[in-house]
DNA sequence: ATCAATCATACAAGCGTTCGTTTGATCGAC
DNA sequence: GTCGATCAAACGAACGCTTGTATGATTGAT
């Protein structure tokens, strides 16, 4: 009896949205509005996937959050899995770019790792448009997508691996394990982080690297 | 919805005699089989929940793995959520006992943390009977169980918090954050660990603490 | 008038769950 | 020892509902 409360969800025929109402609305050109709905769907899907998981999020949930009906989703995406792949890929691309931008110009290897951690936390914990999804999606229901998802994730993990490679670590430290534990701590953060915490995302990232640094 | 058929539901719980059966109640021939099926169901459910997640695992999956039909599950458990709570609680109890046993007699605070990490890894990564589930259960579909699950988890986190409290850390280190990152790295391991790796679970736990130790 | 975008509706499959029934073992009374 | 009675345990077929997806009609801007 886990029925949700999505019973009487009659869509209000308000149609209050008049294009003329907002002067700052995008021009009816084709440059920015092209694929706008698609991005909007991705944004809502990312939020829902991130908080409920893939299976617990329904197409109708995503559609309702976007303001359309379930069937209309299929004009923009071929399947639910396609939405996930798009969202996952965009999130990975976003966090990769954020980290690359953050470490640019930083020289010291440990400072670079710290900058990467801060950027990662800001992206993952901050109110990002398209939250990254790095949850354990070995989930068997996404088995068919696993190769695709791993490929998307590998791009980011390579960046981190390079950062770890440059560190001056004791010779008995397994760098692969170091990277996995570092990413594990980062990826676990969305589980416990609440925006009202006394520590900002940047503080959290900084402290993480601070604890790993040789003292 | 609420049909009037409030017929007497078959009571699934054991509770034959008084709940607290005395030790003398044990029959010499059939004591071991009491609740055996229930444990078997929990074992299969734990494996499936751990690999596919809660929503992607169906009652029929669990039943098939146990060798019975879907409906028969409900003789032993009242609901799918009940199975999860039982499995989660048993897993938490198991890992808590394993960690407590591992740190017993160890004096040095860092050695105690290392022993705890090793025990945690052995329990979580080893082929345990009832795998622990410490995945991100902020999942909204388990919202109603959240308090129960958090209570079960808190027992274990308190043990870890005490271990961290005893460490001699620099004054600027946030111990709460230290604990969360430590647990994050541990909890993320099932995501990437494969038993054929060159490192044993114990190696992994040892290296994790080794990397955190002041050098 | 065109056409991209959305609606409205439908469908088959699968979900958790229920329930009447069946089975095989145990047990007290005869 | 035999025989009903009882019980735990499982079966198998449904139920009501939700899911992802498909499709024809409709809309509104160009």
Determine, yes or no, domain membership for B189.
yes
Q: Is A28 (CB) below 7 Å from strand D?
A: yes
Stretch A59-72: mean pLDDT: 89
In terms of C-beta distances under 8 Å and separation of at least 24 residues, what long-range contacts does B56-65 make, across chains too? Answer: B56/A55, B56/A139, B56/A140, B56/A141
Determine, yes or no, domain membership for A130.
yes
Angle at CA of residue A127, ends A121 and A132, nearest 5°: 60
User: For residues B211 and A212, is the Cβ–Cβ distance under 8 A?
Assistant: yes
Residue A160 sits in the same domain as residue A134: yes
Binned at pLDDT 50, 70 and 90, residue A187 comes out as confident
Measure B189 CA to D21 C1' (Å).
Answer: 36
**CATH number, domain with residue B171:** 1.10.357.10
Q: Is A79 (CB) below 7 Å from strand D?
A: yes
Determine, yes or no, domain membership for B172.
yes
Determine, yes or no, domain membership for A7.
no
Answer yes or no: do A56 and B141 touch at CB < 8 A.
yes
Residue A67 sits in the same domain as residue A45: yes
Determine, yes or no, domain membership for B153.
yes
Domain count, chain A: 2
- Find which nucleotide's C1' atom is closest to B67's CA: D10
Measure B139 CA to C19 C1' (Å).
Answer: 31
Determine, yes or no, domain membership for B15.
no
Determine, yes or no, domain membership for B190.
yes
Answer yes or no: do B188 and A187 touch at CB < 8 A.
yes
According to the model, what pLDDT value does residue B40 have? 87
Count of CB atoms situated within 10 Å of the CB of B158: 11
According to the model, what pLDDT value does residue B75 have? 84
Residue A44 sits in the same domain as residue A123: no
For B90-149, the pLDDT digits (tens) are 989 999 999 999 999 999 999 999 999 999 999 988 865 556 665 555 566 677 788 888
Tokens encoding A168: 């001056």
Closest B-chain CA to A184: B185
Binned at pLDDT 50, 70 and 90, residue B67 comes out as confident
Residue A105 sits in the same domain as residue A208: yes
Answer yes or no: do A185 and B190 touch at CB < 8 A.
no
**CATH number, domain with residue A70:** 1.10.10.60
According to the model, what pLDDT value does residue B131 have? 60
Answer yes or no: do B173 and A207 touch at CB < 8 A.
yes
Query: Alpha carbon B77 to chain centroid distance?
Result: 18
Residue A72 sits in the same domain as residue A86: no
Residue A204 sits in the same domain as residue A99: yes
Q: Which residues contact B125 (CB under 8 A, 6 or more apart)?
A: B189, B190, B193, B195, B201, B204
Average pLDDT, chain A: 79
Contacts of A138 in chain B (CB under 8 A): 51, 191
- Find which nucleotide's C1' atom is closest to A68's CA: C6
The full DSSP string for A104-130 is TT--SHHHHHHHHHHHHHHHHHS--SS
Question: Which domain does A60 fall in, by range?
Answer: 36-76
Domain termination site, one of A25, A47, A76: A76
Stretch A173-190: mean pLDDT: 92
According to the model, what pLDDT value does residue B9 have? 32
Domain termination site, one of A55, A76, A97: A76
Determine, yes or no, domain membership for B147.
yes
Stretch A81-104: mean pLDDT: 92
B→A interface, C-beta within 8 Å: 51-53, 55-56, 81, 135-136, 138-141, 170, 172-174, 177-178, 180-192, 199, 204, 207-208, 210-212, 214-215
User: For residues A133 and A87, is the Cβ–Cβ distance under 8 A?
Assistant: yes
Residue A98 sits in the same domain as residue A186: yes
Residue A163 sits in the same domain as residue A201: yes
């Amino acid at each position: 009896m886990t029925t949700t409360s999505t019973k009487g969800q009659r869509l209000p025929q308000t149609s209050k949205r008049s294009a003329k109402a907002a002067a700052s609305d995008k021009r009816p050109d084709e440059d920015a509005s092209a694929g706008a709905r698609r991005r909007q769907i991705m944004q809502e899907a990312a939020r829902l996937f991130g908080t409920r998981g893939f299976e617990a999020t329904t197409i109708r949930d995503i559609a309702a959050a976007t303001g359309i009906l379930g069937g209309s989703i299929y004009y923009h995406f071929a399947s639910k899995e396609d939405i996930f792949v798009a969202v996952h890929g965009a999130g990975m691309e976003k966090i990769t770019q954020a980290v690359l931008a953050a470490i640019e110009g930083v020289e010291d290897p440990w400072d670079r790792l710290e900058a990467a951690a801060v950027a990662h936390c800001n992206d993952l914990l901050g109110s990002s448009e398209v939250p990254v999804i790095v949850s354990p999606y070995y989930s068997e229901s996404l088995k068919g997508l696993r190769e695709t998802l791993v490929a998307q994730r590998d791009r980011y993990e390579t960046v981190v691996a390079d950062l770890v490679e440059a560190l001056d670590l004791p010779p008995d430290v397994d760098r692969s394990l170091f990277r996995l534990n570092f990413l594990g701590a980062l990826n676990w953060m969305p589980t416990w982080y609440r925006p009202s915490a006394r520590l900002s995302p940047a503080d959290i990232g900084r402290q993480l690297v601070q604890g790993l640094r040789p003292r």
